[in-house]
Amino acid sequence: MPRSSDFFAAGGILSRRIPGFAYRPCQEGMAELVEKALSSSCHAVVEAGTGTGKSYAYIVPLMLRAAEGLGKEIIATSTMPLMGQLLRKDIPQMLDALSLDLDVAALYGRGNYLCALKWDYLYQSRKDDDGVRRFAGWVDGTETGLRDEIADPSLYPLFAECAAERESCIGRFCPYISQCFYYRARKRAEEADIIVTNHHVVLSDIMLRREKGSGSDEAVLLPPFDAMAIDEAHNFPDGATDTFTSTFSTRDARHVLKAIADRRAGKGQCLIDALSPCLKDRAAYGEISSMVAEIREMAEDFDVRIRSLLGRRGRSGERIAFDARFYEENRFAARSFAPLAGRLSELGSLLASSFMAPEDASEETWGDMRTLAFAAERLSELGTLLERWIGFSYPADEIPYGVEEGGTLYISFAPMDTGRILAESFLDNGSPIIFSSATLSVGGSFDFFASQVGLDICETGYISSCFPTSFDLGRNLLCLVARGGMSYSNEEKGSWEEGLAQPIADAIRASGGGALVLFTSRSSMENVYPKVKVLLPGMSVLMQESGRSRNMLLKAFKEDEDSSLFALSSFWEGIDAPGETLRLLIIPKLPYPVPTDPIIAARGEMLAERTGRSAFMEQAVPLCALKMKQGIGRVIRGEKDRGAVLILDQRIMKPMSRKILASLPECHMETDVPLAMVPGRLRGFYGMEKPEHP
């Protein structure tokens, strides 16, 4: 059996079979490391810089394994566009180059697929609507039922109304089961040699298996596998936190009540009425109806009183801490919500015990019974979650917090330690997992990432290595740390923002535009942006605004290579603006996490207790270092790219930030440049190829 080195070596198989394929020692080294992990059944952590060609470096070893018939190989990445690149470009090219005939299937999260039954209900009730008729044209032509195939964004809301979801799925009782897009995709995945999926599916599979048990059909999203590669692995820990977080809200409660007690689209009855012949005791019908009305009233009261209890604790979208002090001050008030928690649990139990379908019931009735079972389970879960919040006490292995969005308070419980969950439920199952990304190490160490995903405590063990980019960053990437830039502090935020405008404007003028200015706070960005715009008359300066599509903004930035863009966290990673489009990155403030964020604060305390070192050094510094690496990684995306980075936050030169500075890519770095000299250094670097704008 050929080895990876036979393909990636200078003059090897890939260079002979792929026109323009260039030998890269880092790519060959990564492929050999992946192959070593697979053959020894241990996990691997691989950091590979931009230009390494890391997708090929894990695809080839996995394909060679699949060709041996050892089991399914799974590739999981973070986004649908990256899945598309693997499916349409990288994997077909490697299959052709390796002369392999392997079956490859894609599996997306359930919510990306159209539910044929929901669509039928929607169409029957609104078939005369123009949008529904246009959506019907897409439905008639689609083979996958994937939202990603819809070209007209105006149809997205209609898709959302009939997207597949576990809670409303009636499984084998569905009249459209043979046409179900999701189940067809799952069946294809079960039959394939290689499955391409995303982090969300992998993590949801882990969560469901923990909750339901691996023997439950509902728990199986992914079939058994031989090995898995997790690309863009820097996003995996946050994905695990999101997936393993449980949430209560009155909005969710109302959604369940609507599903059982309101008339359904395309049907003349509500679910409870449709199943009334299956009631064991007719008296339960009145009790259920009464409890539904009572819970709706109690939910309205909860929304009013919880706002009064929380006051102005947080702005929309910000996490509200339910820490020990909160419970000391508000325990009595929180207990007043116990009747709602009890009623939710009681209704869930009543629904679960009050109905029994006869053996000869129709498939429609059995499908309704399945929907009712999901509703009963969810109501009981919501009651339990609210009860848990009311009686919460510290210390605990989860972190309670709240988020207010759209007038609804969401009470959530995040896991304190995702690493322990992943070690127990994922890493110790006997199949090697390959974690790869351009940003996993901090100061040359993988310890922080390993602790986030459980590699530090798993039984299998792991190997690791860093493979630097093949691009000449010493020549093509200039990093300037300005002297005279201000260290950020909350107390002097106003003067800090006031002092940013001139140095940012001077730097953009020196580069002739093509600048990306990355902020960590919307308010700071919105305060600084107009001041800079006034200082740059005649230059195109864009800003990421609420409600404006990220893709449309990125498109506008790319189309005018002399435009500049002020942006927030979503632009720190995952964007490609090669060539002259992005030739200057400005970082006004180091992206330290907000120390008062409940999850950051609680996990920081946990790490400090474990290590005896400060929470800041154990968590804030590594998170900031990884974010900085992601941001700087936007600048050089190809061999011919040249660009500069300007860091205005003086804190990067303090001893506490040494790991951050040590984590940045090896490039031409100048760490003590007076602000007045920054424009000249930039003009010298660009060689006046882009003349300074007047």
The model's pLDDT over 123-138, given as tens digits with 9 standing for 90+, comes to 888 888 999 999 999 9
The mean per-residue pLDDT over the stretch 520-531 comes to 93
Q: Which DSSP state fits 113?
A: B
What letter represents residue 521's amino acid?
S
For residue 445, what is the DSSP state?
B
What stretches of 298-375 adopt beta strand conformation (E)? 319-321
Average pLDDT over residues 493-509: 91
pLDDT in tens, 308-363: 888 766 566 789 999 999 999 999 999 999 999 999 999 999 999 999 999 898 88
Q: What is the CATH number for 44?
A: 3.40.50.300
Q: What is the model's pLDDT at position 407?
A: 82
Residue 6: inside a domain? no
Residues 309 and 400 in one domain: yes
Residue 15 to residue 5: CA distance in whole angstroms: 12
* Residues 6 or more apart in contact with residue 635 via CB below 8 angstroms: 477, 582, 583, 585, 641, 643, 644, 645
Where is 30: in which H helix or E strand? helix 25-40
Residue 530 shares a structural domain with residue 650? yes
Q: What angle do CA 266, 267, 273 make, to 5 degrees?
A: 155
Centre a 10 Å sphere on the Cβ of residue 71 and count the other Cβ atoms it contains.
15
pLDDT of 485: 63
- What single-letter amino acid sits at 448? F
> From the centroid of its chain, how far is CA 137?
32
Q: Residue 691: pLDDT above 50?
A: no
pLDDT at position 689 is 43
Is 264 in a helix, a strand, or coil?
coil
Residues 560 and 618 in one domain: yes
Query: Where a domain ends, among 143, 162, 181?
Result: 181
- pLDDT-derived band at 417, boundaries 50, 70, 90: very high
234 vs 593: CA distance, rounded Å:
16
The region of weakest confidence among 310-319, 341-350, 424-433, 520-529 is: 310-319
Given pLDDT bands bounded at 50, 70 and 90, which one contains residue 72?
very high
**Residues 6 or more apart whose Cβ sits within 8 Å of residue 347:** 288, 291, 292, 295, 376, 379
18 assigned to some structural domain: no
Is 354 within the bounds of a domain? yes
Q: Which of 163, 181, 199 is the last residue of a domain?
A: 181
Please tell me the distance from the alpha carbon of residue 162 to that of residue 264, in angstroms, as a whole number.
13
pLDDT at residue 316 in the model: 67
In percent, the amount of the chain with pLDDT more than 70 equals 96
pLDDT confidence band for 153 (50 / 70 / 90): confident
pLDDT at position 155 over 70: yes
The pLDDT of residue 81: 87
- Band the pLDDT of 694: cuts 50, 70, 90: very low
Residue 82 near residue 44 (C-beta atoms within 8 A): no
395 pLDDT exceeds 90? no
CA distance 486 to 588: 9
Q: Does one domain contain both 533 and 393?
A: no
117 and 247 together in one domain: no
At residue 218, the pLDDT reads: 57
This prediction's pTM: 0.92
Residues 590 and 533 in one domain: yes
**Band of the pLDDT at 479, cuts 50, 70, 90?**
very high
Domain boundary among 373, 392, 414: 414
C-alpha distances (whole Å) from 148 to each of 116, 142, 606 are: 17, 11, 40
Lowest mean pLDDT among 99-113, 358-372, 676-690: 676-690
Least confident of 167-176, 366-375, 656-665: 167-176
Tell me whether residue 137 is exposed, middle or buried, using C-beta atoms within 10 angstroms of its C-beta: 0 to 12, 13 to 18, 19 or more: exposed
Confidence of residue 690 (pLDDT cuts 50, 70, 90): very low
Q: Is the dihedral of CA 320, 326, 332, 333 positive or negative?
A: negative
Confidence bin at 216 (pLDDT 50/70/90): low
- Residue 692 inside a domain? The answer is no
Please indicate, yes or no, if residue 16 is contained in any of the structural domains.
Answer: no
Residue 14, in any domain of the structure: no
pLDDT digits 0-9 by tens, 246-273: 999 999 999 999 999 998 766 778 999 9
Decide if 19 is inside a domain: no
Q: Establish if 679 belongs to a structural domain.
A: yes
Mean pLDDT of 625-644: 91
At residue 590, φ and ψ (nearest 5 deg) are: -60, 135
Give the ranges where 405-492 is alpha helix by DSSP (H): 418-425, 447-453, 473-476
CATH of the domain at 394: 1.10.275
Q: Are 471 and 463 in contact (CB under 8 A)?
A: no
> Are residues 48 and 194 located together in one domain of the fold?
yes
Q: Is the dihedral of CA 588, 590, 653, 631 positive or negative?
A: negative
Question: Which pairs from 450-453 meet CB under 8 Å and 24+ separation?
Answer: 450/45, 451/419, 451/607, 452/237, 452/418, 452/419, 453/233, 453/236, 453/237, 453/240, 453/418, 453/419, 453/422, 453/427
Nearest Cα to Cα of residue 410 among 296, 248, 257:
248
Whole-number Å distance between alpha carbons of 180 and 184: 6
Domain count along the chain: 4
The chain-wide mean pLDDT, for the chain, equals 90
Q: In this predicted structure, what is the pLDDT of residue 89?
A: 93
564-567 β-sheet, strand order: 541-543, 564-567, 515-518, 584-587, 643-647, 477-483, 668-674
Residue 14 neighbours by CB distance under 10 Å: 23
DSSP per-residue codes, 618-634? IIIHHHHHHHHHHHHTT
Contacts of 304 (CB under 8 A, 6+ apart): none
Residues in the chain: 694
Query: What is the pLDDT averaged over residues 273-301?
Result: 95
- Domain holding 60, by residue range, is 24-110+186-242+417-467
Which DSSP state fits 471?
Answer: S
How high is the pLDDT of residue 593?
Answer: 93
**One domain, residues 59 and 208:** yes
Percentage, residues of the chain above pLDDT 90: 66
Please give the C-alpha separations between residue 627 and each of 77, 441, 575, in angstroms, as whole numbers.
Answer: 18, 11, 14
Whole-number Å distance between alpha carbons of 513 and 563: 5
Say if residue 223 is in the same domain as residue 83: yes
Contact between 65 and 87 (Cβ < 8 Å):
no
In this structure, what token pair is assigned to residue 216?
Answer: 């439950």
Task: Please check the confidence at residue 217 and state whether its pLDDT lies above 70.
Answer: no
Tell me the two tokens of residue 558.
Answer: 């790319």
Cα–Cα distances in Å, from 40 out to 44, 54, 193? 11, 20, 21
Whole-number Å distance between alpha carbons of 587 and 332: 46
Mean pLDDT of 70-99: 93
Q: Are residues 434 and 486 in the same domain?
A: no
Whose tokens are 């140095």? That residue is 503
What are 566-615's pLDDT values in tens digits?
Answer: 999 888 887 778 778 899 999 999 999 998 899 999 999 998 888 888 98
Contact, 239 vs 207, CB < 8 A? Answer: no
Strand spans (E) along 241-306: 246-248
Of 3-12, 205-214, 263-272, 516-525, the range with the highest mean pLDDT is 516-525
d(CA 26, CA 53): 9
Q: Is the pLDDT of residue 78 over 70?
A: yes
Do 400 and 528 fall into the same domain?
no
Q: Are residues 616 and 484 in the same domain?
A: yes
